[in-house]
């Protein structure tokens, strides 16, 4: 299951017009351009389904687009949106419309490898079969719990039902395992590490010391957030957006609010935008301190682990002292923020951030002199830049492998274009590179909090309410783990018709196996901790 590097890149940079011209030249009438949702993004409608795979291949391999996810919508026809993000022209949507009776869709996951899991997910939840996909089946709905044939994301499925007949009662067994003299598979999870680890199952296969295949099995925490959001009011879905993944709660609630604001044409006041930047960066700082704590714990360097844990707890306390909640719940609202902060609170926050940053820098310096620590990280869990690009890894993990992608820079939101910051990146792609990126990002976050708060001006905090209209939009943020997107579609009655979360953990979990394979068993927890993944953010 090693990932072959992509063909030699002959990539050109495109702007919006050049991309439209090139697509028109290559695909003619098979792909048309639409100006749905204004002109901010490029929208291509795939008229001829046989053009879907070549179009996606062109965007991914030649036009320099990153694959951002897939959104399936069931209306009076199937609406499949393939999202790409191009550094030159922003978001690119490819839309495939199919009659509702269709059950098979061409699979794009061979040329666009990051689409693999999205198609597996859609197959499990919508019952669509992706032609040409190498392995569909047991994914979100675990085979030992769910009978085949249930499609919970279809509109006809009632989310409130709790009684199901026909439950298979046998245990799950992998369908494919390595077979060789001396080969064995080591199952880990879903309850492990005393349960303090999140619920994930790994099957590590080996013929000796090195892991030759690592298969994560996720979705133990699947709570059907996207399904139970349907038919709810936008205020109730805000609670879900905040609570499906608490370690990046502010980032996800911000993405959700921005989607609602775009759909309803709400203009956020500058004061709220600045405070949102400060709170997002506070969350990133705290999250990275937590990941660094995990890395120190996995290498069993106890003093540094304690040191990092103290920093994380101090930042949690600073968050609560500032906002009233240790995980920044209940602050974002469509149109702005729900509460204001006086200058006393903001200066206390700046002091806490400075203290935390000073402790982090001291920790970084000491770690860089700890040879036993560095031995466990350097040249371990290497993800080459080619693999990172091929898998489209996001966030600090991608940036540690040379992918300088950050939506705060590519598609700025909430006024990020007005602030000075650098996109931290490294080239080596090993565990130590990921650790250095985390420290560098923490420094940038502290600087951004200072900039945002020091340029804070008095003014209103929330836009005036507007009537809800039937519209749909995407909101995006650079969450601590990577770029996240929330797609919100309002129905005619003003409730949420479709809610889709494109979560960064989902993508990086898919890429984890590349880093784990060909490394020793005892490296596995260390590699896992340097990825800093969240199972609950992936599972939703």
Partner 1 sequence: MSFWFWHGLRNGIQSTRYPHAPETAPGVTPGRPVDTQFSSAEEAAEAAAVCPTGAIHAESARAVVDLRKCIWCQRCRFGCPRPLHWETSHTWAAGSAARGAASPLGSPFGHSLHVMVVDAGDCGACLNEVKQLNNPLYNIHRLGIFFTPTPRAADVLLVVGPVSENMKGPLLKTYEAMPEPKRVLAAGTCAITGGVFGRSFMSHGGVPSVLPVDLEIPGDPPPPLAILDALLLTAGRAKHSTLSNPETAPSPDHGPRLVKLP
Question: By CB under 8 A, what part of segment 92-151 binds partner 1?
Answer: 142, 144-146
Listed ranges 47-55, 78-86, 245-253, 375-383: which one lies at the site for partner 1 (CB under 8 A): 245-253
For residue 404, the SS3 value is: coil
Could you say which DSSP state residue 40 is in?
S
Listed ranges 274-282, 316-324, 507-515, 523-531: which one lies at the site for partner 1 (CB under 8 A): 316-324
In the complex with partner 1, the residue whose CB is nearer, 7 or 196, is: 196
Structure-token pair, residue 84: 């790409």
Phi first, then psi: give them for residue 517, nearest 5 degrees: -65, 145
Instruction: Give the residue from 498, 472, 491 showing the smallest Cα distance to 43.
Output: 472
Is position 355 an interface residue for partner 1 (rule: CB under 8 A)?
Answer: no
Is position 193 an interface residue for partner 1 (rule: CB under 8 A)?
Answer: yes
Instruction: Give the residue from 247, 260, 289, 254 showing the smallest Cα distance to 275.
Output: 254
414: left (phi over 0), alpha (psi -120 to 50) or beta: left
Is position 190 an interface residue for partner 1 (rule: CB under 8 A)?
Answer: yes
Is position 247 an interface residue for partner 1 (rule: CB under 8 A)?
Answer: yes
In the complex with partner 1, the residue whose CB is nearer, 9 or 320, is: 320
In the complex with partner 1, the residue whose CB is nearer, 378 or 518, is: 378
Task: Report yes or no: 425 and 399 within 8 Å, Cβ to Cβ.
Answer: yes
User: C-beta of 177: minimal distance to partner 1 in Å?
Assistant: 21
* Kind plus residue range of the DSSP H or E element containing 318: helix 302-323
Instruction: Give the residue from 383, 511, 401, 412 showing the smallest Cα distance to 85.
Output: 412
Is position 154 an interface residue for partner 1 (rule: CB under 8 A)?
Answer: no
- 450-509: contacts with partner 1 (CB under 8 A): none
By CB under 8 A, how many residues form the interface with partner 1?
76
Task: Report yes or no: 218 and 200 within 8 Å, Cβ to Cβ.
Answer: yes
Is position 246 an interface residue for partner 1 (rule: CB under 8 A)?
Answer: yes
In the complex with partner 1, the residue whose CB is nearer, 117 or 219, is: 219
Helices 504-516 and 524-531 meet at what angle, rounded to 10? 150
Listed ranges 39-47, 55-63, 105-113, 531-539: which one lies at the site for partner 1 (CB under 8 A): 531-539
In the complex with partner 1, the residue whose CB is nearer, 307 or 389, is: 307
The residues pairing with 213 across neighbouring beta strands, listed in sequence order, are 205
Contact residue for partner 1 among 43, 60, 327, 416 (CB under 8 A) = 327
In the complex with partner 1, the residue whose CB is nearer, 3 or 310, is: 310
In the complex with partner 1, the residue whose CB is nearer, 405 or 486, is: 486
Contact residue for partner 1 among 66, 69, 290, 480 (CB under 8 A) = 290
Instruction: Give the residue from 534, 415, 394 showing the smallest Cα distance to 478.
Output: 394
Helices (H) and strands (E) in the chain, counts: 17, 15
Is position 317 an interface residue for partner 1 (rule: CB under 8 A)?
Answer: yes
Cα–Cα distances in angstroms (integers) from residue 6 to residues 26, 86, 374, 517, in the given order: 21, 18, 31, 19
In the complex with partner 1, the residue whose CB is nearer, 46 or 477, is: 477
Task: Report yes or no: 31 and 23 within 8 Å, Cβ to Cβ.
Answer: yes
- 295-314: contacts with partner 1 (CB under 8 A): 301, 303-304, 306-307, 309-310, 312-313
């Amino acid at each position: 299951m090693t990932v072959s590097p992509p063909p030699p890149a002959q990539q050109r940079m495109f702007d919006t017009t050049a991309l439209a011209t090139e697509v028109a030249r290559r695909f003619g009438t098979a792909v048309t351009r639409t100006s749905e949702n204004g002109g901010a993004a490029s929208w291509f409608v795939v008229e001829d389904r046989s053009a879907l795979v070549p179009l996606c291949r062109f965007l991914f391999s030649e036009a320099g687009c990153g694959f951002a996810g897939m959104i399936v919508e069931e209306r009076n026809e199937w609406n499949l949106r393939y999202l790409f993000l191009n550094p030159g022209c922003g978001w690119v949507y490819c839309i495939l419309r199919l009659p509702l009776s269709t059950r098979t869709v061409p699979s794009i996951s061979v040329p666009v490898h990051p689409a693999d899991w999205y198609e597996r997910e859609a197959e499990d939840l919508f019952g669509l079969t992706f032609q040409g996909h190498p392995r569909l089946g047991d994914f979100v709905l675990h085979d030992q719990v769910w009978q085949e044939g249930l499609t919970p994301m279809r509109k006809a499925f009632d989310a409130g039902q709790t009684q199901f007949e026909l439950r298979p009662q046998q245990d799950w067994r992998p369908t494919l395992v390595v077979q060789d003299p001396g080969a064995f598979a080591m199952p880990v999870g879903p309850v492990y590490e005393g349960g303090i680890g999140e619920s994930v199952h790994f099957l590590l296969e080996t013929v000796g010391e090195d892991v030759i295949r690592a298969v994560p099995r996720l979705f133990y925490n699947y709570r059907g957030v996207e399904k139970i959001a349907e038919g709810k009011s936008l205020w109730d879905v805000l609670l879900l957006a905040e609570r499906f993944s608490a370690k990046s709660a502010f980032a996800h609630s911000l993405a959700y609010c921005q989607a609602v604001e775009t759909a309803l044409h709400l203009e956020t006041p500058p004061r709220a935008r600045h405070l949102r930047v400060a709170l997002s960066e506070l969350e990133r700082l705290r999250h990275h301190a937590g990941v660094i704590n995990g890395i120190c714990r996995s290498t069993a360097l106890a003093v540094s682990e304690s040191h990092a844990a103290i920093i994380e707890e101090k930042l949690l306390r600073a968050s609560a002292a500032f906002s009233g909640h240790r995980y920044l719940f209940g602050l974002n609202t469509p149109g702005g923020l729900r509460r204001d902060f006086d200058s006393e609170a903001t200066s206390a926050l700046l002091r806490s951030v400075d203290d935390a940053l000073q402790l982090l820098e001291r920790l970084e310096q000491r770690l860089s002199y700890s040879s036993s620590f560095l031995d466990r990280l350097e040249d371990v869990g290497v993800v080459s830049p080619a693999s990172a690009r091929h898998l489209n890894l996001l966030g600090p993990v991608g940036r540690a492998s040379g992918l300088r992608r950050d939506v705060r820079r590519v598609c700025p939101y909430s006024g990020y274009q007005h602030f000075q910051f650098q996109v931290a990146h490294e080239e080596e792609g090993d565990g130590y590179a990921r650790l250095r990126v985390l420290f560098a990002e923490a420094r940038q976050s502290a600087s951004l909090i200072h900039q945002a708060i020091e340029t804070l001006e008095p003014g209103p905090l929330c836009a005036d309410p507007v009537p809800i209209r039937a519209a749909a939009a995407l909101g995006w943020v650079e969450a601590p783990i990577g770029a996240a997107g929330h797609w919100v579609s309002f129905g005619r009655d003003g409730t949420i018709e479709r809610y889709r979360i494109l979560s960064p953990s989902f993508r990086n979990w898919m890429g984890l196996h590349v880093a784990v394979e060909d490394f020793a068993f005892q490296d596995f927890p260390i590699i896992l901790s340097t990825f800093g993944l969240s199972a609950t953010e992936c599972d939703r």
